[in-house]
């Protein structure tokens, strides 16, 4: 069978066979489902001129000396990209926003989606030579359950048990039905790692990914070489991968224009149009679920008063923020995290607008508002500028916001979820349940507002198991309204992912769930 597949691949690459003929031959060979999908993706890339070779160099806007290889600690874009380079997950989000098989070749719900059966790929090797099996999956999941600070812990609270049914089948039993569980099971923290005696070594840097870790200096540089035994024929085109942590946006742009790197994320939006004019440079963007926020700790005075929170929500001019911080590369937010691209986005929910009179009204009910807002551009590009604009907007309502400029290095460990009010960004999630469970469910590890609402938590569980789409939509609409009116977060905008590359970089259709093609640019792109 392998010889036959190799033969038709050769015919396709040489031009003696069209993609349609290639697909028909796959059918004749009895290849269907995810396996056919993988080969057809390979066919698209082959006909687009995808080829192996070269070292990909990327300048990444994140990275901290406090980072760790432990998947339970990933909290910024640099480590997310490292994660996807060296490790894989049960599934991955494709360019359509749907979940596609990865280490699991298929899955199926049973018992009203309370039981999920995952069938693993056979013959997948870790970088240390161990063959993937059910024990590795179970141990990798258990690393995020029990006594752990992993953000995935709240997502996995619904899992009552995990068991293996043979060497390549894993069965998850849930406390209630969840139609979106394949998305949950593929959370980027839940990287599948090799196990020994029922445990994983979370910091060994070993995975099944396209690149084998060679060197990693936290907050500085990652270097890896292509995995010669990678199980995806249509991925991992580069021989070597180098990622540099370049937090300063001007330095990132300079690194691209001088040829130090081939790819940068988070293009400085103030100068994106100038960068795009430079010879040999491309500026591209994708629309997804990314949003910028100002979370307040609702367990800390004065943010425990909803009148104060409402005052601040009415005191920001979202349109001006989108214009002057995003430069039009995004849309206004409505103080909840569900993006217009999400399937149950509450488009009919009244858009909150800048209203100094309402802000003054709620500020008076709160006994006056004088607060500090911590910000650094590590939180999101232009975060300090946005905070300064916010201060000016609020002043018109008699609200005093002191902007505290924080160091970028260590921002996520020293400021986020530590200081009472700060700036933050979220990549968002493809499903409402995933986003809400990660950051808004009472007690969730990454609930950065420390907010709890009984009605919201009840709806979260009910909507997860609801199979009637109209009823589910009503529940998610109500949850968005609860967060908007009672929650502790200001969500002024949803931002596009804007990035730059040399014109030597090629790719197919891109995913928008994370920056740089779902943070998988290093395995999906190639040199033209």
Model confidence pLDDT, tens digit, residues 24-58: 666 666 665 555 566 556 566 654 678 899 999 99
Closest CA to 282 of 268, 262, 255: 262
> Do the beta carbons of residue 475 and residue 463 sit within 8 Å?
yes
Backbone angles phi, psi at 263, to 5 degrees: -145, 140
Compute the average pLDDT of residues 341-357: 94
Q: Which residues does residue 281 pair with via DSSP β-bridges, in sequence order? A: 502
Closest CA to 325 of 266, 264, 270, 402: 270
> Do the beta carbons of residue 432 and residue 338 sit within 8 Å?
yes
What sign has the CA pseudo-torsion 488, 309, 406, 332? positive
Measured from the Cβ of residue 477, the count of other Cβ atoms closer than 10 Å reads 18
For 42-95, the three-class secondary structure string (H helix, E strand, C coil) is HHHHHHCCCCCCCEEEEEECCCCCCCCCCHHHCCCHHHHHHHHHHCCCCEEECC
The answer to which of 6-10, 309-313, 359-363 has the lowest mean pLDDT is 6-10
Q: What is the CA radius of gyration of the chain?
A: 23
Q: Which CATH code of 3.10.105.10, 3.90.1150.10, 3.40.50.10860, 3.30.420.40 fits the domain covering 291-495? A: 3.10.105.10
Tell me the per-residue pLDDT of 144-195, one tens digit each, with 9 for 90 and over. Answer: 999 999 999 999 999 999 999 999 999 999 999 998 999 999 999 999 999 9
Please tell me the predicted confidence (pLDDT) of residue 35: 59
Measured from the Cβ of residue 289, the count of other Cβ atoms closer than 10 Å reads 24
User: Mean pLDDT across the chain, nearest whole number?
Assistant: 92
> Do the beta carbons of residue 32 and residue 23 sit within 8 Å?
no
The residue among 34 and 71 whose pLDDT is bigger is 71
| Residue 429, preceding peptide bond in cis (omega within 30° of 0) | no
pLDDT bin (cut points 50, 70, 90) of residue 67 is very high
As a whole number of angstroms, the distance between CA 144 and CA 155 comes to: 9
> Do the beta carbons of residue 5 and residue 28 sit within 8 Å?
no
Please tell me the predicted confidence (pLDDT) of residue 45: 60
Tokens at residue 232, please? 């995806």
Rounded to the nearest 5 degrees, what angle is found at the Cα of 190, between the Cα atoms of 186 and 193?
Answer: 120
Please tell me the predicted confidence (pLDDT) of residue 15: 43
As a whole number of angstroms, the distance between CA 323 and CA 317 comes to: 10
Tokens at residue 210, please? 């396209």
Please tell me the predicted confidence (pLDDT) of residue 98: 85
Query: Which runs of E-coded beta strand occur in 205-324?
Result: 211-217, 221-226, 240-245, 263-264, 281-286, 291-295
Please tell me the predicted confidence (pLDDT) of residue 14: 39
Q: Which CATH code of 3.10.310.10, 3.90.76.10, 3.40.50.300, 3.40.50.150 fits the domain covering 88-200? A: 3.90.76.10
Structural fold of domain 211-286+497-527: D-Maltodextrin-Binding Protein; domain 2 (3.40.190)
Helix (H, G, I), strand (E, B) or coil at 214: strand
As a whole number of angstroms, the distance between CA 309 and CA 365 comes to: 11
pLDDT bin (cut points 50, 70, 90) of residue 11 is low
Residues 6+ apart with CB under 8 A from 145: 153, 156, 159
Please tell me the predicted confidence (pLDDT) of residue 43: 60
Tell me the per-residue pLDDT of 481-507, one tens digit each, with 9 for 90 and over. Answer: 999 999 999 999 999 999 999 999 999
pLDDT bin (cut points 50, 70, 90) of residue 95 is confident
Compute the average pLDDT of residues 427-436: 92
Tokens at residue 508, please? 């197919």
Q: Do domains 88-200 and 211-286+497-527 have the same CATH topology?
A: no
Percent of the chain scored above 90 by pLDDT?
Answer: 84
Helix (H) or strand (E) holding 196: strand 195-196
Burial of 358 (0-12, 13-18, 19+ CB in 10 A): middle
Helix (H, G, I), strand (E, B) or coil at 40: helix
pLDDT bin (cut points 50, 70, 90) of residue 12 is low
Kindly tell me if the per-residue pLDDT of 9 is higher than 90. no
Helix (H, G, I), strand (E, B) or coil at 126: coil
Q: Long-range pairs for 181-184 at CB < 8 Å and ≥24 separation?
A: 181/109, 181/113, 181/116, 182/90, 182/91, 182/99, 182/107, 182/116, 183/91, 183/93, 183/99, 183/429, 183/430, 183/431, 183/433, 183/434, 184/155, 184/156, 184/158, 184/433, 184/434, 184/437
Helix (H) or strand (E) holding 38: helix 33-47
Half-sphere exposure (Cβ direction) of 511: Cα atoms closer than 13 Å: 23
Q: How many residues does the chain have?
A: 528
Tell me the per-residue pLDDT of 415-427, one tens digit each, with 9 for 90 and over. Answer: 999 999 999 999 8
- Domain map of the chain by residue range? 2-47, 88-200, 211-286+497-527, 291-495
Please indicate, yes or no, whether the overall pTM of this predicted structure exceeds 0.85: no
Backbone angles phi, psi at 422, to 5 degrees: -155, -175
């Amino acid at each position: 069978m392998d010889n036959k597949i190799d033969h038709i691949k050769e015919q396709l690459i040489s031009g003696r066979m069209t993609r349609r003929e290639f697909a028909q031959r796959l059918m004749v060979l009895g290849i269907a489902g995810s396996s056919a999908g993988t080969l057809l993706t390979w066919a698209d890339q082959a006909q687009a001129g995808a080829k192996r070779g070269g070292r990909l160099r990327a300048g990444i806007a994140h990275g901290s000396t406090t980072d760790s290889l432990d998947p339970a600690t990933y909290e910024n874009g640099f480590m997310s990209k490292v994660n996807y380079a060296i490790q894989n997950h049960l599934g991955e989000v494709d360019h359509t926003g749907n979940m596609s098989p990865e280490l699991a070749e298929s899955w199926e719900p049973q018992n009203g989606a309370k039981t999920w059966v995952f069938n693993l790929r056979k013959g997948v090797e870790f970088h240390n030579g161990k063959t993937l099996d059910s024990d590795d999956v179970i141990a990798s999941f258990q690393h995020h359950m029990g006594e752990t600070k992993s953000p995935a812990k709240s997502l996995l609270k619904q899992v009552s048990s995990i068991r293996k049914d043979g060497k390549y089948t894993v069965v998850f039993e849930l406390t209630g039905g969840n139609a979106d569980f394949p998305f949950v099971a593929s959370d980027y923290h839940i990287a599948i790692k090799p196990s020994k005696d029922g445990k994983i070594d979370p910091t060994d840097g070993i995975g099944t990914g396209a690149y084998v870790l060679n060197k990693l200096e936290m907050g500085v540089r990652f270097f890896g070489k292509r995995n010669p035994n990678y199980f995806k024929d249509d991925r991992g085109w580069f021989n070597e991968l180098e990622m540099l942590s370049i937090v300063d946006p001007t330095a990132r742009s300079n690194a691209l224009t001088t040829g130090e790197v081939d790819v940068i994320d988070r293009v400085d939006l103030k100068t994106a149009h100038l960068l795009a004019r430079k010879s040999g440079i491309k500026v591209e963007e994708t629309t997804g679920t990314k949003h910028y926020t100002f979370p307040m700790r609702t367990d800390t005075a004065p943010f425990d008063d909803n009148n104060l929170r409402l005052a601040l929500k009415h005191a920001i001019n979202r349109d001006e923020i989108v214009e002057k911080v995003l430069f039009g590369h995004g849309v206004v937010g409505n103080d909840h995290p569900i993006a217009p691209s999400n399937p149950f986005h509450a488009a009919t929910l009244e858009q909150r607008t800048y209203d100094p009179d309402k802000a003054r009204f709620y500020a008076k009910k709160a006994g006056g508002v004088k607060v500090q807002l911590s910000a650094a551009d590590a939180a999101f590009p232009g975060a300090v500028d946005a905070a300064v604009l916010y201060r000016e907007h609020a002043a018109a309502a008699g609200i005093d916001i002191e902007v505290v400029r924080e160091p970028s290095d260590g921002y996520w460990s020293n400021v986020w979820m530590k200081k009472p009010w700060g700036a933050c960004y979220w990549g968002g999630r493809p499903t409402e349940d995933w986003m809400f469970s990660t950051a808004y469910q009472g007690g969730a590890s990454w609930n950065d507002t420390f907010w709890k609402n009984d009605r919201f938590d009840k709806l979260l569980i009910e909507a997860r198991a609801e199979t009637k789409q109209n009823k589910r939509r009503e529940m998610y609409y109500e949850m968005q309204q609860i967060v908007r009116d009672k929650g502790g977060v200001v969500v002024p905008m949803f931002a596009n992912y804007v990035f730059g590359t040399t014109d030597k970089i090629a790719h197919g259709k891109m995913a928008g769930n994370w920056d740089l093609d779902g943070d998988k640019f290093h395995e999906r792109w190639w040199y033209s």
